[in-house]
């Protein structure tokens, strides 16, 4: 499973629920695969998708809030996991698409090749699942419907040359339509 396939799979399952997507290829692929007003494409501020998602989750307790993160970006903001694990938002679902690399900057390696993000998140009282193929991913997405968060799903993905183009919406437009729809 590559990132685009993983994003196609999950967006089919979660419909119109809000997504905060990290910068780089994750936002590009989400924009290409399933653009909708409830997507907040975070095109700058690398590392902060989970924090923005936490703020939205606290203020919208009746909605499930999805964060689409990468391994490189969550490694930049590991402190966020301790804050999420302390506040324990029941409605926050944090996806980490983990390819062990900074793919959009040339494929440089990240530490997830030797250190498990899942184990780090478990230590912060987050419910963590790790999946390596489509069928595991589908099963977990069904299972978490009955679970209270915070939840993390680490999705192991392969690098791929298949990526979407840049997000062509202006940032102000991304914000306005997200605020109107949430």
Partner 1 sequence: MKPNTQKKIFDYLIKNKIQNFIGVPDSTIKYFIDQGFKKNKILITTREDEAIGIAVGMSLSKSHSLVFMQNAGLANSISTITSLVQLYQIPLIFLIGWRGYLQTDAPEHVKIGEIQSSILKLIGLKSKIVKDDNWKSCCKWALKQISNGSSCCLVIRRLF
* Shortest Å, Cβ 168 to partner 1: 15
Strands (E), 16-72: 19-21, 39-41, 65-70
Distance of alpha carbon 130 from alpha carbon 152, whole angstroms:
8
Residue pair 20/4 in contact by the 8 Å Cβ criterion: no
Is the Cβ of residue 82 or residue 125 nearer to partner 1 in the bound state?
82
DSSP-derived 3-state class of residue 78: coil
* Shortest Å, Cβ 157 to partner 1: 24
If we measure between CA atoms, which residue out of 115, 111, 114, 113 comes closest to residue 123? Answer: 115
Residues found near partner 1 in the complex (CB under 8 A):
20, 40, 42-45, 47-60, 77, 79-80, 82-83, 87, 171-172, 174-175, 178-179, 182
Angle formed by the axes of helices 3-14 and 134-143, nearest 10°: 30
Is the Cβ of residue 1 or residue 43 nearer to partner 1 in the bound state?
43
Is the Cβ of residue 40 or residue 97 nearer to partner 1 in the bound state?
40
Is the Cβ of residue 40 or residue 137 nearer to partner 1 in the bound state?
40
């Amino acid at each position: 499973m590559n990132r685009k396939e993983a994003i196609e799979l999950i967006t089919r399952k979660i419909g119109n629920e809000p997504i905060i997507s990290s910068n780089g290829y994750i936002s590009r692929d989400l924009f290409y695969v399933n653009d909708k007003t409830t997507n907040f494409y975070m095109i700058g501020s690398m590392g902060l998708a989970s924090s923005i998602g936490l703020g939205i989750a606290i203020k919208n307790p009746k909605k499930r809030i999805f964060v689409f993160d990468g391994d490189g970006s969550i490694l930049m903001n590991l402190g966020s996991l301790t804050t999420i694990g302390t506040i324990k938002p029941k409605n926050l679902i944090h996806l980490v698409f983990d390819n062990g690399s900074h793919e959009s900057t040339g494929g440089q390696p990240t530490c997830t090749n030797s250190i498990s993000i899942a184990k780090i998140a478990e230590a912060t009282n987050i419910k963590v699942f790790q999946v390596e193929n489509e069928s595991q991913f589908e099963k977990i997405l069904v299972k978490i419907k009955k679970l209270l968060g915070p939840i993390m799903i680490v999705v192991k993905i392969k690098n791929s040359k298949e990526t979407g183009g840049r997000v062509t919406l202006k940032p102000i437009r991304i914000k306005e339509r997200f605020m109107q729809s949430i």
